[in-house]
Amino acid sequence: MPTILVTGGAGFIGSNFIRYWRREHPSWEIIAYDKLTYAGNKSNLHDLEGQPNFTFVQGDICNREELEPWLAKSDIVVNFAAETHVDRSLLSSGDFVRTDVLGVHTIMECAREHRTGLIVHISTDEVYGPILDGSADEDEPLNPSSPYAASKAGGDLLALAYAKSFRVPVIITRCCNNFGPYQHPEKLIPLMITNALLDLPLPVYGDGRQVREWIFVEDHCRALDFLIEHGTPGGVYNIGTGCERQNIEVVQMILQLLGKPESLIRFVADRPAHDRRYSVNWEKLRKLGWQPKHDFESALAQTVAWYRENEWWWRQIRESEEFKRYYEANYAWRLRNESA
Ligand code: NAD
Ligand code: TYD
């Protein structure tokens, strides 16, 4: 039975990918390998627990002894494991360098030794930095702004170097902003949905005119499946949709979907080095034959409905001491209208 190892499988995109893979490739064995940091949540995989040919392993991608046996027995590895939140990387960045750079190095070293099958390394469009005009293609120089983006750029370039130097069969993907079920309430869309449901203020950074390109998480999963079949090892692939929205537009749409007033919006102190716009050129992927299926408006409505119906899921996170500490550190002074 072929085996796929999904590192970071208890996070937002990883858990959606596992659910997608189970549905589309039911004959595969799936191993979810995750450290269960504050962002990893076993309840993201609640419906897979106890299913045949599904194994959950609590482990760190930086720990070679822990990781190696699982990687050695897998036919495909998809690496989602990372520290992922820009605002947290501005508060403290050690774990970002550790996991997003050294963790990738550990995976690459294991892959080099064991001559594994395909490795898909999930990078991000944030490695290109702000794109004020046009769209970044895969040859655009990397110009990260935050410690998160810089750490991801380090992992991305290391993976590429292992493909060039040691022929490790790795594909690197750089996707735009994802949204959908099981996204941690620290990120823009779930934070705004859950704050609105709780009748709390919605903190919009700066003037709210920053632009992000959005993809529904299921389309991202489909793109990864497509690249597993059609991508070339050693290749870098942008994954995008062309669906660009200003943050303020997204926040207004969420309020409208929930029937909540715009008076909940608060413009607060901006993020330092806040990237004005991200936009990827994904012609390379389109030419291979992939395109997104979901449009932003209906996928956002579906996402809002999911958060409304799954309060049990987000309440356990929002009520944790860890989340309260983070919220206090990142938002309390902003909502008091103070500067950093
Ligand atoms: P997430 O924060 O929801 O999940 C990350 C997962 O990695 C968590 O389950 C966490 O426990 C796990 N993890 C962290 N450190 C680990 C370690 N040392 N060893 C093992 N597991 C560890 O993030 P996400 O939004 O699902 O993002 C997944 C990947 O996709 C990341 O690499 C991210 O950079 C990339 N990405 C995300 C987006 C987005 O919009 N969310 C866009 C493009 C790329
Ligand atoms: P985020 O979801 O953190 O993703 P990224 O910074 O990785 O793109 O934020 C998306 C956008 O929303 C970004 O421009 C920052 C902005 N934002 C706010 O205005 N307020 C918030 O409370 C958050 C979390 C994000």
Whether 128 sits among the annotated catalytic residues: the reply is no
Q: Which atom of ligand 2 is nearest to the CA of 275?
A: 14
DSSP secondary structure letters along 207-223: TS--EEEEEEHHHHHHH
Mean model confidence pLDDT for the chain: 97
DSSP secondary structure letters along 54-72: EEEEE--TT-HHHHHHHHH
Strand partners, 136: 280
The pLDDT value given to residue 289: 98
Q: What is the dihedral of CA 165, 115, 15, 289, to 10 degrees?
A: 70
- E runs forming strands in 132-291: 170-175, 177-179, 202-205, 211-216, 236-239, 244-246, 265-268
What would be the CATH architecture of the domain defined by 3-179+215-239? 3-Layer(aba) Sandwich (3.40)
Q: What is the mean pLDDT of residues 54-63?
A: 98
Domain ranges for the chain, please list them. Answer: 3-179+215-239
Whether 125 sits among the annotated catalytic residues: the reply is yes
Whether pLDDT at 338 is above 90:
no
Show the ligand 2 pocket: residues with CB < 6 angstroms.
86, 126, 177, 187-188, 191, 203-205, 210, 212, 247
Whether 148 sits among the annotated catalytic residues: the reply is yes
Whether pLDDT at 115 is above 90:
no
Whether pLDDT at 339 is above 80:
no
What are the counts of helices (DSSP H) followed by strands (DSSP E) for the chain? 14, 12
Give yes or no for a contact between 79 and 65, defined as CB atoms under 8 angstroms apart.
Answer: no
Of 16, 70, 84, 85, best ligand 1 pocket probe by most atoms within 8 Å of the beta carbon = 84
Distance 184 CA to ligand 2 centre (A): 12
Q: From residue 57, give the alpha-carbon distance in Å to each of 15, 33, 159, 246.
A: 13, 5, 23, 39
| Centroid of chain to Cα 275 | 17
- Which one is catalytic: 20, 33, 128, 148? 148
Whether pLDDT at 241 is above 80:
yes
Q: From residue 134, give the alpha-carbon distance in Å to each of 7, 137, 280.
A: 33, 10, 8
pLDDT tens, residue by residue, 68-87: 999 999 999 999 999 999 99
- Which one is catalytic: 125, 186, 213, 219? 125
- Residue where the block lists tokens 């822990």: 66
3-class SS of residue 240 = coil
Instruction: Report residue 329 as tokens.
Output: 């550190």
C-alpha angle 324/328/333, rounded to 5°?
165
> Residue 257 — pLDDT band, cuts 50, 70, 90?
very high
Residue 64: nearest ligand to its CA?
Answer: 1
Q: From residue 213, give the alpha-carbon distance in Å to each of 194, 234, 276.
A: 21, 25, 12
- Which one is catalytic: 34, 100, 126, 219? 126
